[in-house]
Amino acid sequence: MALLAFLRRRLIQILPVLFGILLVVFMVVRLVPGDPARMMLGVYATDESLAELRDQLGLNDPIWMQFGSFLKDVATGDLGISLVYRRPVLEVVAERLAPTITLIAYAVILSVLVCIPLAMLAASRRGRRTDQVIRAGATLTLAMPGFWLGLNLLIVFAVVWPIFPVAGFGDTLIDRLWHLFLPALTITLALAPILIRTLRASIIEAMSAPHVEFARTKGLPAGKLMRRHVLRNALMATVTILGVNIGWLLGGSVVIENVFSIPGIGNLIVSSVTARDYPMIQGIALIFGLLVITINLATDIVYALLDPRVSYD
């Protein structure tokens, strides 16, 4: 019951954020200098076509009426019609969402698989050569720009040594994991160092806690001590950092998807901006905002499950 009350409070707190996202997304197109209708149809558009589009978009109505119509359309799942694809925005975005979500999930799983053992190893050998090598490697990969690292991985492992595909998404699950390995590795090399440093510091702090010292004096094996008393407490800060960075990855995927020619949301954003497909840009911005809210809510839930003492404050 307490967890349900916690979720109910979090959902109520999300409502102002959601309203703010809707307001910003609505205003972005309307604050662009110039006539949105002329920008959409081009400089050679006739007065009749411009008037028709303005009427279709409701640009002649007062701004508050336009915002009300926008809220009504969003509530019914109507994000408009793409000017390039001539199809509903939601339909086009739904088709492109799978590659992006798969890529980010793949990268997050790889990052967790890499960071937990390396952070544990670095913390258990604090100050020694192993710890220094892991920290130096994390700093090095963190300093590398994502597009540069992706291009080099692409050149080495897809061109010089044709181990992985150059581009594409694949058809079957195994094929998709194979196609997305290099882009997921690129994201992992940027995300894992942050998680390693955070988790290492948390593990070192947790290992000095009184209950851990007491368990150690009782002769509890090191592996069991780490799993039972150290890792769970240390993971809480890392979960928060991971949740924040997953939201950042949604924006960062734009570059990676274009480097590896993945038909995802990032690729769609670039083509929509180039073509000035404003309904599509508006729809993508809104969906990205909703995804970030969902990720933050999921992070709160995981944090609550890891630490019930502070879950329901």
pLDDT tens, position by position, 176-215: 888 889 898 888 888 888 888 888 888 888 777 776 666 6
Question: 88: which strand partners?
Answer: 81
Residue 255 lies in a domain: yes
**Owner of token pair 């509890």:** 220
Residue 136 reports pLDDT greater than 80:
yes
47 & 102 share domain: no
Neighbours of 147 (CB within 10 A): 14
Q: For 45-67, write each residue's pLDDT tens digit.
A: 777 777 777 777 666 677 777 78
Q: Tell me, what amino acid is at 71?
A: L
Q: Are residues 270 and 150 in the same domain?
A: yes
Whole domain around residue 235: which residue ranges? 97-306
CB 96 within 8 A of CB 250: no
Number of domains in the chain: 2
Residues 47 and 131 in one domain: no
**Which CATH number fits the domain that encloses residue 108?**
1.10.3720.10
115 and 158 assigned to the same domain:
yes
Question: Phi, psi at residue 88, to the nearest 5°?
Answer: -55, 135
Q: Is 69 inside any structural domain?
A: yes
- Decide if 83 is inside a domain: no
pLDDT, average across residues 112-139: 85
Tell me which residue has tokens 């044709």: 162
In the chain, how many H helices and how many E strands?
14, 0
Residues 232 and 293 grouped into a single domain: yes
Query: Is pLDDT above 70 for 219?
Result: no
| pLDDT attached to residue 89 | 84
Whether 29 and 70 share a structural domain: yes
